[in-house]
Amino acid sequence: MTTPIEAQAKIAELSKLINHHNNLYYQEDRTEITDFEFDKLLEELIQLEKQFPEYLEPDSPSQRVGGTITKEFETAEHEYRMLSLGNTYSEEELIAFDERVAKGLGHRNYEYFCELKFDGVAISLVYEKGRLVRAVTRGDGTRGDVVTENIKTIRNIPLHVKGKDMPDKFEVRGEIFLPRKEFDKINQERDSQGEPLLANPRNAASGTVKMQDSSVVAKRRLNCYFYQLLSDELAVNQHDEAIRLLEKWGFNVSPTYTKCSGIKEVLGYIESWKEKRFELPLDTDGVVLKINDNDQREELGFTAKIPRWAIAYKYKAESAESQLLSITYQVGRTGAITPVANLSPVHLAGTTVKRASLHNANEIERLGLHEGDTVFVEKGGEIIPKITGVNLYKRKTGALPIKYIDHCPECSTPLERKEGEAKHFCPNYVSCPPQILGRIEHFVHKRAMDIDSLGTERIRTLIDQGYISNPADIYELENIRDQLLGLEMSQDQYEKTDDGILYISLTKAFFALTEGLSLTAIQKFCDSQIETPLTEVLNNFQTFIRNSHKKVAQNVATILKLQEALHQSNLPQMEDYLPVSVVLSLLTGNRITLDKLIEAARHQGTVHAILLKLDLSLNSEQEERIKKLKANTFQEGVISNMIEGINASKNQPFEKVLFALGIRNIGENTAQILAKHFKNIDNLKSADAEALLAVNGVGDTLVSSIQDYFSKNENLSIISRLKEKGLHFEIHEAEKILQSNTLEGKKILASGKLNHFKRDEIIDFIEANGGQYLKAVSKSLDFIIEGEDMGPSKKEKAEKLGIKMISEEEFLSMMSKTDLI
């Protein structure tokens, strides 16, 4: 039994903890615990407060909607309070909820409206005379932030609506979300720019809605599902009818809703979406059920925080057991090491899971992982599954604890760990391959040197084979083009474990080890085995060979040998991949011992590289079979295309070159400002702190990263080599000279697709003629050049502000460029 004194202390402690997590979740868009853990804390608080009502504080988190307003926006009061929802993870509690409803109404004559619970941020939109007048966040439930401008950039939020039965004034509520595809795209882009990744789509959506710059919001393709219509003059009295009205008026409603006549049907609905929901384009975390009839809703009423006529059933993150096969240590672009667990395949939350991120050494220690452990894997709101614990009963006797690596798996440099940081780093900035890759990818990026013929795969190949290690090397490739012919290109078929042991995809291995079977057929077979553990796949492949009737005896014999060799090699197992050394030992016909092969394959990135190192004399049949193992190779066409792109990049203007160098803290805009201000790299290099700080937007951090960059000899030598190759290290003459002052004092924006200018060109053109280019629609614009397909929201805003819009043709004739028309 809890004593009152204990209860009081516990209530205070829980309240503090919950407030802390609420603050992180709503203010900073991040989380330290899962929703399930959070909900358990809240439930514990509610139970204690029920038991000891004397300690229930009016501002307890059990009594308040979790969010608050921010300081950055104007606020507005909600006409109808915006509440939270009660939630549960169990069927029993759902049935108990249904009992309370029946008791409250005094009968069982009611229907539920069910739909999925979308994981995003709540928004309230007010329409007057069919026009969107205000968008407000939920805030503390009573007042929220006014974010109308941001919301207007979301494409399928209608600015105007028309329709039958539409009241003069109404409010719609919905959930703004970031589709998972958009989320992945943003993260891919951030990854390639070396920026930190967004944690999950919900946080990303919430952070975006509260951004200060609407044009950034517009770039993130947010979307919205509407789920509630409110008005004093509604013609309908059933929720499903109101939803149908919303659909008719053009609001985006998720097609997942249904009406259920009792809790049993609701449970069926919940079950039917349990797995199917993963096919939806957005994250969902449960089902919301609401009483369908408005009068009945009124009868049931509200508590301080939630309606009594609705509840959310939340799906528990699914958990499964799996075996830890090995750990791969990935080296990121900044040198940060991330351990990844390779697992035996398990079916979880609609997908087959074979890997889980372990984050860092602390996580491995916290879990107490031992080799070959059976672990619990969970997949919740986050996309990457995680290991939540170890099944100690299944630990093998004598299993050793996982020992974290102390050398970089890519370049063997001893790792470092800065104080207070969880991650280990490879300090080898200059020659660690993934770090070089990060810098070169930035250099060739379309917003930098724009060399799109140098994709990641090609760059990685060139780095791995020692042909490039910095941007200047790219411009030397032309001179060694004959050496590039035949280089192995794709790395996708390879994978490495703990200490740099190279593995190759099953498909390639099977293809090389057998005769008469096509790569496509083998690929198809492997695809069908995704959920099968490797040991079984090897057996199934023998059946596959028998069914194919192609060289059965010989092919099966090879696979039997493979199984034997895998067993003897004692190398860690990785699903879908086989150790290259074992495969090569079979293909080279025991010309060399397995041990020697394993040794040679350590720290090599391709079959090609291993063979170069071993220098075996192989017969032509062996060579042919090994060739089947290799990836695509560089061919003449690819090489020409690459060199062409590299040469074309020499025309990029100074500001792009400056951005491409990758000096820390110099983004695209800063590069532009610095290029304009200093005119050439030498002026920039010799500028002292005072001169740098005099430039608008330059602060101390930037000063020190610029000075740091130019103090390094290797950077100076790269610049001088690039200069020799003809890259622009000063601004172009034409950019310096004003072509005319026709546009002097004019503030101009161009929107939509133009026929005679690219985006950058129109900006340069306006500036070269004395005008100023503005990036967003605002009152201060003199006119807008309206191109094809100008964004509707921009257009509407411009119309509202009464800004003059002219066509591209009118603009050209104004500039006396009639020759272009």
Ligand X SMILES: NC(=O)c1ccc[n+]([C@@H]2O[C@H](COP(=O)([O-])OP(=O)(O)OC[C@H]3O[C@@H](n4cnc5c(N)ncnc54)[C@H](O)[C@@H]3O)[C@@H](O)[C@H]2O)c1
- Residues of this chain that bind Zn ion (CB under 5 A): 408, 410-411, 413, 426, 428, 432
Between residues 176 and 337, which has the closer beta carbon with respect to Zn ion? 337
Dist CA 162 CA 71 (whole Å)? 35
- Binding-site member from 8, 10, 17, 39 for ligand X (CB under 6 A): 39
Task: Identify which range of 27-35, 452-460, 642-650, 666-674 contacts ligand X by CB under 6 A.
Answer: 27-35
Determine, following the binding rule CB under 6 A, whether residue 117 of this chain makes contact with ligand X: yes
- By CB under 6 A, how many residues form the interface with ligand X? 24
* Candidate residues 97, 110, 118, 811; the one interacting with ligand X per rule CB under 6 A: 118
Binding residues for NAD(+): 35-39, 84-85, 115, 138, 175, 290, 314
- DSSP annotation string for 278-305: GGSSS-EEEEEEEESBHHHHHHH-B-SS
Is 251 a binding residue for ligand X by CB under 6 A? The answer is: no
Q: φ and ψ at 79, to 5 degrees?
A: -70, -45
DSSP at 261: S
Element (H, E) at 180: helix 180-192
Phi (first) and psi of residue 520, to 5 degrees: -65, -40
DSSP 325-342: EEEEEEE-TTSBEEEEEE
Contact by Cβ (8 Å): 657, 729: yes
- Give, as one character, the DSSP assignment of residue 572: P
**Per annotation, catalytic residue among 40, 117, 210, 394:** 117
The single residue among 29, 35, 111, 373 that binds ligand X, judged by CB under 6 A, is: 35
* Shortest spacing between CB 785 and ligand X, in angstroms: 40
Nearer to ligand X, 267 or 638 (CB): 267
Question: In this chain, which stretch among 21-29, 447-455, 499-507, 652-660 interacts with ligand X, using CB under 6 A?
Answer: 21-29
783 touches ligand X (CB under 6 A): no
**Cβ at position 718, least distance to Zn ion in Å:** 20
Q: Which of residues 275-294 bind ligand X (CB under 6 A)?
A: 288
Q: Known binding site: residues? A: 35-39, 84-85, 115, 138, 175, 290, 314, 408, 411, 426, 432
Say whether residue 171 binds ligand X (CB under 6 A): no
On the CB side of 374, CA atoms within 13 Å amount to 10
**369 versus 432: smaller Cβ distance to Zn ion:** 432
DSSP assignment of 380-406 equals -SSSS-EEEEE-GGGPPTTPPBPPPP-
H or E, element range at 655: helix 654-660
Considering the rule CB under 6 A, would residue 312 count as an interface residue with ligand X? yes
Q: Does 210 bind ligand X (CB under 6 A)?
A: no
Give the binding range for ligand X (CB under 6 A) out of 25-33, 675-683, 698-706, 740-748: 25-33
Contact assessment for residue 607 and residue 580, using Cβ atoms and an 8 Å cutoff? yes
Helices (H) and strands (E) in the chain, counts: 34, 23
The annotation places the binding site for Zn(2+) at 408, 411, 426, 432
85 binds, among Zn ion, ligand X, none (CB under 5 to 8 A by kind): ligand X
Q: Say how far apart CA 18 and CA 23 lie, in whole Å.
A: 8
Q: Is 433 in the site for ligand X (CB under 6 A)?
A: no
Tell me the closest approach of the beta carbon of residue 206 to ligand X, in angstroms. Answer: 10
428 binds, among Zn ion, ligand X, none (CB under 5 to 8 A by kind): Zn ion
Indicate which of Zn ion, ligand X, none lies near residue 138 (CB less than 5 to 8 Å, by partner kind).
Answer: ligand X
* Binding-site partner at residue 312 among Zn ion, ligand X, none, CB < 5 to 8 Å by type: ligand X
Under 8 Å CB-to-CB from 203, ≥6 apart: which residues? 29, 30, 31
Q: Closer CB to ligand X, residue 198 or residue 629?
A: 198
Task: Check residue 226 for interaction with ligand X (CB under 6 A).
Answer: no
38 contacts ligand X (rule: CB under 6 A): yes
- What DSSP line would sit under 424-471, residue for residue? -B---TTT-HHHHHHHHHHHHSTTTT--TTS-HHHHHHHHHTTS-SSH
* Residue from the set 29, 140, 145, 175 that interacts with ligand X by CB under 6 A: 175
Residue 31 interacting entry, from ligand X, Zn ion, none, C-beta within 5 to 8 Å by type: ligand X
Decide the pairing of beta strands 747-751 and 577-579: unpaired
Q: Does residue number 607 form part of the binding site for ligand X (CB under 6 A)?
A: no
Q: What is the DSSP letter of 167?
A: -
Per the listing, tokens 């009295």 go with 237
Q: Give the C-alpha separation, 335 to 338, whole Å.
A: 10
Q: Please tell me the distance from the alpha carbon of residue 740 to that of residue 738, in angstroms, as a whole number.
A: 6
Burial class (CB in 10 A: 0-12, 13-18, 19+), 47: exposed
**Sheet strands side by side (includes 121-128):** 131-137, 121-128, 169-177, 223-230
Rank residues 287 and 639 by Cβ distance to ligand X and give the closer one: 287
Residue 751 in contact with ligand X, rule: CB under 6 A:
no
21 interacts with ligand X by CB under 6 A:
yes
Asked whether the beta carbons of 332 and 320 are under 8 A apart, the reply is no
Residues 74-103 contacting ligand X, CB under 6 A = 84-85, 87
Beta carbons of 571 and 579 less than 8 angstroms apart: yes
Question: If contact means CB under 5 to 8 A according to the sort of partner, which of ligand X, Zn ion, none does residue 408 touch?
Answer: Zn ion
Select from 111-119, 265-273, 296-304, 749-757 the region that touches ligand X (CB under 6 A).
Answer: 111-119
Q: Binding of ligand X at residue 66 (CB under 6 A)? A: yes
**Residue 113 binds to ligand X (criterion: CB under 6 A):** no
117 counts as catalytic: yes
Q: Does 424 bind ligand X (CB under 6 A)?
A: no
Instruction: Point out which residues bind ligand X (CB under 6 A).
Output: 21-22, 24-25, 31, 33-35, 38-39, 65-66, 84-85, 87, 115, 117-118, 122, 138, 175, 227, 288, 312
Active-site positions read 117
